[in-house]
């Protein structure tokens, strides 16, 4: 009878332990797995991550002028110590490669009404070569003077329009006809011509300029008794492209 009581008590303890263990297991927190990230959000995140990089790049360029000189490579500065930024698209297009135009004016000794045409092909930002044609017409005189010229130019930036003064030299020939000469004298002649001149271009737009120039036309062998004549282009207009 006593052994039966001991066995019954032991069974009660085992059952109680099993019940308590199951209850604890049910109440214990279950670790949560990290939530899966949809593929679309990864893609969106990747696309969004590019925007701040571009913004940072723009901010870095915008603050370039605020950086001390020692913080930048010395190649980034021009001769005046100013930050030499890469040329913008506008600056690139403003670099003249070719220019062509026509002008009006007059010649002196002989005196004629002058029409000119020219083209400039730029070998660099400072040097251009090209043809120049001068045609002068009057009641008595006709002057036709083609030549090949070389120009040295300098661009001057101002608060207003861009200026481009220049010097030129050239070589060609001049044909002069004088209808008022006596019948026993030749009324026309042709000979070698040398040009020396200066002028100024004023850019009224990115690819349009107006200007004025004076040219001394030297005739070494004399043409119809003339050893030189002066051409003044009062106004001409150029297209740059």
Mind listing the pLDDT tens digit for each residue in 147-158? Answer: 999 999 999 989
pLDDT number for residue 6: 44
Regions in the chain scoring below 70 on pLDDT: 1-96, 184, 186
Q: Are 193 and 171 in contact (CB under 8 A)?
A: yes
8 A C-beta contact, residue 46 and residue 37: no
Tens-digit pLDDT profile for residues 159-185: 999 999 999 999 999 999 988 777 767
Q: How many CB atoms lie within 10 A of CB 175?
A: 17
* pLDDT of res. 185: 72
Two tokens at 166?
């220049």
Q: Write out the two tokens for 90.
A: 């506008």
Q: Token pair for residue 86? A: 């890469």
C-alpha span between 119 and 150 (Å, rounded): 11
Q: Which two tokens stand for residue 207?
A: 């690819």
Q: How many residues are given for the chain?
A: 241
Tell me 70's DSSP state.
Answer: G
- Supply the pTM of this predicted model: 0.61
Looking at residue 82, its pLDDT comes to 56
User: Which domains does the chain possess?
Assistant: 55-86 (no CATH), 96-240 (2.40.160.20)
CB 10 within 8 A of CB 3: no
**What integer pLDDT is reported at residue 201 of this predicted model?**
97
Query: Could you read off the pLDDT of 189-218 as tens digits, one per residue?
Result: 999 999 999 999 999 998 999 999 999 999
């Amino acid at each position: 009878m006593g052994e039966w009581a001991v066995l019954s008590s032991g069974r009660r303890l085992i059952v109680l332990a099993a019940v308590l263990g199951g209850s604890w297991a049910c109440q214990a927190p279950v670790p949560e797995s990290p939530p899966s990230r949809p593929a679309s959000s990864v893609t969106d995140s990747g696309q969004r991550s590019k925007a701040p990089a571009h913004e940072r790049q723009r901010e870095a360029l915008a603050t370039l002028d605020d950086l001390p000189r020692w913080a930048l490579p010395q190649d980034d500065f021009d001769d005046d110590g100013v930050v030499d930024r890469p040329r913008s698209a506008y600056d690139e297009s403003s670099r003249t490669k070719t220019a062509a135009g026509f002008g009006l004016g007059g010649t002196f000794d002989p005196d004629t009404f002058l029409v000119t045409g020219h083209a400039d092909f730029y070998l660099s930002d400072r040097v251009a070569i090209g043809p120049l044609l001068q045609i002068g017409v009057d009641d008595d005189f006709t002057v036709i003077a083609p030549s090949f010229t070389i120009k040295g130019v300098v661009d001057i930036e101002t608060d207003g329009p861009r200026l481009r003064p220049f010097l030129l030299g050239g070589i060609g020939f001049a044909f002069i006809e004088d209808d008022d000469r006596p019948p026993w004298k030749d009324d026309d002649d042709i000979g070698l011509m040398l040009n020396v001149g200066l002028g100024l271009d004023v850019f009224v737009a990115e690819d349009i300029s107006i200007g004025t120039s004076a040219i001394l036309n030297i005739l070494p062998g004399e043409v119809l008794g003339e050893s030189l004549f002066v051409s003044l282009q009062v106004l001409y207009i150029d297209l740059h492209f």
